[in-house]
Chain A
Amino acid sequence: MNKETTILWLLVVASFVGVIDSAYIGLTSLSDTLIPCGLTLGCDEVLSSPYSHLGNVSISWIGLLFYLSIASNSIFGLSGFRKAFKITLAASALAFLITLYLLYIQILVLQAFCDYCLLSAFLVILILGLQLKLYFWEKTELSS
C-alpha cells in the first residue's frame, strides 16, 4: 500500500467515526432524552446551549455532511477519481476554523466540555492534517 492509499484509508476511517459521532448527537437532539457523558460532565450543558444549534437545527447535522463529503471524496480517491480534492481541503479548513470557535465556546463561555464535541474536534484536526499531508506529498511528487 503506497502513502497516498494509506492516507486515503485513514481519511475514510476518521470520517466513519465522525459520521457515527455526529449522527448520534443529531439523533439525540431530536428526542428529549439526556445524553450520557463518559469522560466529561457537560454533554447536556454543551449540547443544549444555543451555540449547538443554528435556529432549531443541531449543528451536528452540518458536521455529518462534512464527514460524508470527506468519506465520499476519499472513497472516490481510492477508486481512482480525484476531482474534488481541493474543495474538500477547503471544507476541512473551514471545519477547522469552526472547531476552534466551538472549542473557545466550551473553554471560555460555557466552561463545560462534551465528549462527543471533543472527539469531533480531534477528528477535524486529524482530517485537515491528513489532507495537508496528501496535498504537499502530491505537490512534491509532481515537481520531482
Chain B
Amino acid sequence: MPKNTSPTGNRSRDRKRSKKKSPSILTPVFLIIFFVVSAVGVALYLKYSKPGGVGNQTPSINNSSNIASVLSTNGWTKGNGAAKAVLVEFGDFQCGACATAQLRISKITEQYGSRLKVVFKQYPMQRIHRNAMIAAQAAEAAGQQFKFWEMHDLLFERQNRWAQVPDAHTIFLKYASELGLDLARFKRDIWDSKIKEKIYRDVMEGQIAQVQSVPAFFLNGKPLRNARDDAEFENLILEGIQSIQ
C-alpha cells in the first residue's frame, strides 16, 4: 500500500490541511495587545505631555521671559493701573489658600498700591471645587455693575458659608442684593455665556502659563515662589517693585 494512501497518512495530511485553513487565534490576540498598548500610550502621552503638544514652543515655568510674553495684564485690576510692577494672581473663590492669600494681597495693596498694579484672573478648579465656577460667574456678573472687587472680597470672606451648599447661586443673589446690585441684571449676567467665555479665557491663559495649583502669582511676568509667611511675601513683592523702578 503506498504510503500516502494509508488511513493514518490521510488523517495526518487532513490535520495539516485543516490547520492551514483555520485562522490562528494568536495573530488577533497580538494585534489587540498592540492596539491597546499603542492607544493607551498615546492617551498617556497626551495627558502628561506639556500643553501645546510636541514641537510647540510652550513656556516653561523655568523660562520666565516666555511666561511674561503670554501673560496679559488685562483683567480685574486694583492698585495703580499705571504702575510698572504688576502682580497677576490666578485664583479660585472656593480655594482656602486663595482666601488666605486674599488677606495678604489686601495688605500689600494698602501698603504699596501706589507702586503696584494687582490683576486678578479666574482659575476655578471645578473638578475639586463644586461651586468654584458659579462663584467666578457671580464675581464677573457683579463686575458688570462695577462691583467685582466688592463681590470678590465677600466671596472669600464668607467662603465657608457657600462652598459646600448645593445651590450656591441663591446665596450669591443675597450678596448681590447686599452690594446694592440690580438683581434682575445680576440674575441674567450670572448665566451669560460671554461671562463663562471670559472665565475660560483666563483659565486658558493660566494653562499656557503652566498654573498647576491656586493661588498662582506672577510678579512682572515671573512666577512668584511660595512664601512661608506674610513677611516673606511682602519682601518678595517689595523686591519686585524695586527691581522694575
Contact = CB atoms under 8 A, between A and B. Distances in A.
Interface of A: 12, 16, 19-21, 23-24, 27-29, 32-34, 36-37, 41-42, 44-45, 47-48, 68, 71-72, 75-76, 78-81, 111-112
A78 B31 CA distance: 10
Contacts of B22: 80
- Residue among A16, A79, A81 with the highest chain B CB neighbour number at 10 A: A79
B244 interface: no
A20 B127 contact: no
Contact of B27 (A34, A72, A79): A79
A45 B35 contact: no
Given A32-B125, A36-B51, A19 B32 contact: no
A36 B207 contact: yes
Contact of B43 (A23, A44, A45, A48): A23
A75 B40 CA distance: 17
Interface string B17-33: 00000111101100110
Band of interface residues on B: 20 to 34
B165 interface: no
B54 interface: no
B128 A32 contact: yes
A20 B42 contact: yes
A19 B40 contact: yes
B125 to A, nearest CB: 6
Interface of B: 22-25, 27-28, 31-32, 35-36, 38-40, 42-44, 46-47, 51, 125-128, 133, 193, 196-197, 200, 203-204, 207, 212
A78 B30 CA distance: 13
Contacts of B24: 79
A34 B216 CA distance: 14
A72 B43 contact: no
A55 to B, nearest CB: 16
Contacts of B200: 37, 41-42
A91 to B, nearest CB: 16
Contacts of A37: 200, 204
13 contacts: A19-B39, A23-B39, A24-B43, A24-B47, A28-B47, A37-B200, A47-B127, A72-B32, A75-B31, A78-B28, A79-B23, A81-B23, A112-B196
Given A42-B196, A81-B23, 10 more contacts: A24-B47, A34-B207, A36-B207, A41-B200, A42-B200, A44-B203, A45-B126, A45-B196, A71-B32, A72-B32
A36 B44 CA distance: 15
A20 B46 contact: yes
Contacts of A41: 196-197, 200
A72 B28 CA distance: 8
Contacts of B31: 75, 78-79
Q: Which 10 pairs show the lowest CB-CB distances between chains A and B?
A: A23-B43, A80-B23, A19-B39, A79-B28, A48-B126, A41-B200, A24-B43, A27-B47, A76-B28, A75-B28
Contact of B35 (A12, A21, A79, A111): A12
A34 B127 contact: yes
B85 to A, nearest CB: 28
Contacts of B203: 34, 44
Nearest to A50: B130
A49 to B, nearest CB: 9
